[in-house]
Amino acid sequence: MSSNRGKTAIVGIGEIPTGRYPEQNAISFALDAARMAIADAGIAKDEIDFVIPTTAVFSFQFSNELTTCRLVEELGLKGVSANTTVFSGGSSSTNALRIASALIETGRARNILFVHCEKLGTGVSTQGGIDLFSTAGISMEWEVPYGQHYSTVAALATQRYKHETGTTDEELSAVCVSNRKWAELNPNAFFRKPLTVAEVMGSKMLATPLRAKHSNMLFDGGAAFIVTSAERARNLTDKPAYVLGEGGAVTHFAYHQEPDLTRFGWAKAGREAFAEAGITPADINVAEIYDSYPIFQLIAFEEIGLCPRGEAGAMHLHGDTWPGGQLPTTTDGGMLSKGHTGAGGSVSLLVEAARQVMGRAGQRQVPNCRFAVETAVGGTYMDAQVTILGNEIP
């Protein structure tokens, strides 16, 4: 496989605060985020020549409008040659970045705009949201009839992982606390009130051993980023977010076909990404780990090599992943504290990874941040995607 290390970069990012906006249409989230990204990149909007929206799962009709170029018209873009949707659930941002990098590297595009927007907080009823996440990415033949849904998926992985590693409920709950500490510093996060391990463990049981505060909640939101060539990036900013390494592994569709519920494909994806980037996990300054439930943050953290197996929970409990800790992790607050916005869970993490290496993270800025790793995953954790960004090329 040919290497794309350092040939492309993210140069502009935009994001609206996660929340509930019943009076606003989803298109406004997309437009606001896109305009922020264009301004942040310091380019004229007509320099955008390729647009990649991702699916908004709250509405098929609205997603169809995004696919058929509504953003191009609403933004008044005059130089666009193509508009195409890229969607793979929670790994949509990573896969869109991979496609964008390939288009730029082959000369098919110069400046690519990726946009995500979602209205899961107010665009669907509570029951509609429950129904959506009880069936999306879950086998309608072999799992849905038996009551499988996302909370039971996470509960199965959590139960098995605890059995194999000895990780405690306190350590599991500490993931929520760690992410909340970052959310307290993030003006775009919904949950900014301090949280304790005792509060997490005292919340009602959801799906044994998971409790309500181990889960995410659905919100409205939007984010965007712009990708260009490394050469162009160096003319736009002193600190581009170079795309240094990518890796991925698809392991299953039906959850019961996953070979290992406590590992998934993270080790393979991580090895590929680090090998391409030419660095090791020890070089990472910030880790943006997908966190729809605490267990998946722990598993990915370990499997990509950030610590030995079974030790991630203790690191989260003892403050190693908190602000000021040795390995700042999920520094936007993640889906557990920033909020779940469909595919936006990973979009936010990728935007945050870029923000950190570009030195634009405000109160959350990790000092001397050179390299960031981001993980993303779609459906019932059926693919493992790892991306490494940096403000220098090793």
DSSP, residue by residue, 357-394:
HTT--GGGPPTT--EEEEEE--TTTTEEEEEEEESS--
Q: Which residue ranges in the chain fall short of pLDDT 70? A: 1-2
Decide if 190 is inside a domain: no
> pTM (2 decimals)?
0.97
H or E element at residue 174 = helix 169-183
Decide if 331 is inside a domain: no
Which residue carries 């920033």 as its tokens? 338
CB–CB of 118/342 below 8 Å? yes
CA 277 to chain centre: 19
Range of the domain at 89: 8-123+218-236
Look at the chain and report how many structural domains it folds into.
1
pLDDT at 1: 52
H or E element at residue 198 = helix 197-202
pLDDT at 61: 97
Decide if 222 is inside a domain: yes
Name 89's Cβ contacts closer than 8 Å, sequence gap at least 6.
136, 137, 343, 377, 378, 379
**DSSP 8-state assignment for residue 16:** E
Decide if 189 is inside a domain: no
Decide if 170 is inside a domain: no
Q: Is the dihedral of CA 377, 198, 188, 364 positive or negative?
A: negative
CATH number of the domain enclosing 50: 3.40.47.10
- 190 in helix, strand or coil? coil
Decide if 75 is inside a domain: yes
